[in-house]
Amino acid sequence: MIDANGYPQNVLVIGGGSEIAAAIVALLAENGLERLALAGPREESMAAVRDQIGPVVSTKLFELDLAEPERAGPVIDDAAAWMGTLDCTIVAAAILGDQTRDEVSPERVAVSLTINTVGPAAALTAVANRVESQGFGEIIVLSSVAGEVVRRRNYLYGAGKLGLDGFALGLAERLRPRASLLVVRPGFVRSRMTAHLDPAPLATTPERVAKDTLAALFAGRTIAWSPGILRWVMMVFRHLPRGLSRRIPF
Amino acid sequence: MTQQLSGWGKTPASFPAKLIQPTSDQEILEVLSGPLRTAPRGLGRSYGDAAQIAAGLVLDLTRLKPTFELDEKTGLLTVSAGYSLGEILERTLPRGWFIPVTPGTRFVTVGGAVASDVHGKNHHRDGSFSMHLSNLELLTPSGAMTLTSSDPAFAATAGGMGLTGVVSKITVKLLAVETSLIRAVTVPTRSLAETFEAMTRDDEYTYAVAWIDATATGSRLGRGLASFGEHAKIDELFGRTIDQPLAYHPKAVATIPVSAPSQLLNPLTVRLFNSAWFQAGAARCGEKITSLDGFFYPLDAVGSWNRLYGRRGFLQYQVVVPYGSEELIETIIGRLAAGGHPSFLSVLKRFGEQSMGLLSFPKPGWTLALDIPAKRPGLGELLRDFDRRVAAAGGRVYLAKDGRLDPELLETMYPNLRKFEEICHNLDPEGIMATDLARRLRIGGRH
């Protein structure tokens, strides 16, 4: 169940190895989190999250590779059966890939969009159905500013997030007011996933994103930016003439 | 689609699969034969998730009113559970009978008053609501039963948060009064020590409670207005009240609109309000004859005042701590004020003896109730810390106000929990009776 301050007792993370999701879960663990289901393709990264959260929370790992989107439904059923209710679901699964390598490969493009858009959309649908029938629930979808304005340097990842972002916003309307769905648009996050890249301006951390996410969730918002200033930066950016915006070097 | 349900604090909220408003015991017994998990609900004045069940069936009992029988000689009232205390007062007060125990609002049903085993300003003398019942009728999944206070099922139902079944009818002994007015005495206090000191004089009065300015800090922490009262005698009246000493015409003076701005209650406005209230009260101190509503139900004059807190809602944190743990009261008030979680309305009072109710809240000691805006950063952690200290001190959190207690502390706070669960299981082996509160706190293994 969810308490009066918005804190869930049970949490499912799709993309259980995600550092941002782990930072969110760490905050929830200080506020009554009891059961944590981590679903993802790599056991070792999920085990690391489990160890980081510690024994206060009862954690179970579920093998799920969103490259096979049709597997999402059954895995979510298993996780929900273990937990009892799906109080809060964090959809964090994504691959960044290597733009220059992947952009010329039809196979890699298909895999990237499957993992970043099709798989999460399938998972979200299974979660939404369950949340609708159980009569309450919170859903957090990790999108990205990369999907807000798709750029040359990471258009494959950006297009994937753009698709997911739009899908999630539509789903939020379907679920309103039965459940709250929050789309989180972080800027450049310093994490394992981006360790090999030069940080973009306004770079943030998983911990900062986690804080902003919960603040927005409890305030009942549908979209969260992290850092918050990105909302205004991207609003301007989106309206620049393309001839100008394509020359901005990040 | 059914409507979203929550307690008075607006959080947590959930959607039932179905909501029905039965008017007879028969309808209720049919529902309780299953298979849907079922939660009883009255006027929705518990603050948290006690009267709702996500994806289950909610029985709105406010239309269950087949019986109202007052024996004017003895003051014994047999009344259906759907009546509110206000509706009872409107009928019995003009005949000289008052409810023996009343909480701070008249908008609670009889059923809710039993399920929460409510207390009032006279708890230090007269105990809680269930202690004034001669019997109650309970509808359970295993059938209807009439219970008296010596029955184990009665002890489980009094304060049992609706988990033993549906209370359909009670017989309660009313209190004879000469007038519908209160002789009230207000004493301003300058510090928490003075407030405690003033409240230890409560045994001179039937009614006693202290309002606290929970936003005052430093040496003024815990300052407030101790208020005491007695039902006014007829020879204490003057002016036009003498002609109609038992007249009772409650009215609302205002209603908060749905669109109230959510930032209306912020740390600044709450501090200003509390300060002004204290100064005004201190200026008007002394003895006076006041209306019953003004004394018992000041907030009832403002309809839907819970909307003042906006869409995030609010919670009421009410605890009792045994004598000797007074410094815990100081810690709670002080740390909430320092943490930027000012309480809009705060009250302190002494409790008397515990009732037979297995999950009944009141026990001897000090009770503190604070209204706090919910879902603010840091609030969850702070209250969890208070919970642990309260439990360690032998105190407890009031379940009728709760929406956030850690299930692991429940048995420490309510040592009769296992006995309660056993009785519930006998009455309801399939666990039909269920609420979001019971699921959150895993009462009887619900989830």
What is the ipTM for the molecules in this complex? 0.94
B403 touches chain A (CB under 8 A): yes
B381 touches chain A (CB under 8 A): yes
Task: Give the distance from residue B376's alpha carbon to the nearest chain A alpha carbon, in angstroms.
Answer: 7
Please report the residues numbered 131 through 150 in chain A whose beta carbons come closer than 8 angstroms to any beta carbon of chain B: 133-136
- Give the CATH H-level superfamily of domain A10-245: NAD(P)-binding Rossmann-like Domain (3.40.50.720)
- The topology (CATH level 3) of B68-177 is 3.30.465
Query: Per-residue pLDDT tens for B346-393?
Result: 999 999 999 999 999 999 999 999 999 999 999 999 999 999 999 999
A56 touches chain B (CB under 8 A): no
Query: Per-residue pLDDT tens for A142-162?
Result: 999 999 999 999 999 999 999
- Minimal Cβ distance to B380: which of A31, A85, A219: A31
Q: What pLDDT, on a 0 to 100 scale, did the predictor assign at position B38? A: 98
Cα B226 from Cα B262, distance rounded (Å): 31
Provide the residue count of chain B.
447
**Active site members of A:** 157
Q: Given pLDDT bands bounded at 50, 70 and 90, which one contains residue B304?
A: confident
Range(s) for CATH 3.30.465.10 in chain B?
68-177
Helices B192-199, B326-338: inter-axial angle, 10-degree rounding: 140
Residues of A in contact with B311 (CB under 8 A): 220
Q: Give me the CATH code for the B181-410 domain, please.
A: 3.40.462
Q: Is B334 left (phi over 0), alpha (psi -120 to 50) or beta?
A: alpha
Chain B, nearest residue to A211 by Cα: B377
Please state the pTM of the whole predicted model. 0.95
Across chain B, mean pLDDT equals: 95
Range(s) for CATH 3.40.462 in chain B?
181-410
Sign of CA dihedral B102, B103, B104, B106: negative
Residues of B in contact with A4 (CB under 8 A): 9, 11-12, 48-49, 313, 315, 374-375, 402-404
Please report the residues numbered 60 through 89 in chain A whose beta carbons come closer than 8 angstroms to any beta carbon of chain B: 84-85
Cα B372 from Cα B104, distance rounded (Å): 17
Cβ contacts below 8 Å, chain A against chain B, sum to 79
Q: What pLDDT, on a 0 to 100 scale, did the predictor assign at position B259? A: 67
Render B51-76 in DSSP notation, one character per residue: T--TTSEEEE-TT----EEEETTTTE
Contacts of residue B167, defined as CB under 8 A and 6 or more positions apart, other chains included, come to B40, B81, B110, B111, B114, B115, B136, B137, B138, B139, B157
- Minimal Cβ distance to B12: which of A3, A32, A34: A3
B49 touches chain A (CB under 8 A): yes
Residues of A in contact with B318 (CB under 8 A): none
Provide the residue count of chain A.
250
**Do A4 and B17 make contact, defined as CB atoms within 8 angstroms?**
no
**Do B15 and A219 make contact, defined as CB atoms within 8 angstroms?**
no
Domain spans in chain A, listed from the N-terminal domain onward:
10-245
B379 touches chain A (CB under 8 A): yes
Angle at A19 between CA A119 and CA A3, to 5 degrees: 85
Query: Per-residue pLDDT tens for A80-122?
Result: 999 999 999 999 999 999 999 999 999 999 999 999 999 999 9
- Minimal Cβ distance to A135: which of B15, B383, B447: B15
Beta bridge pairs of residue A2? A8
Angle at A24 between CA A40 and CA A28, to 5 degrees: 110
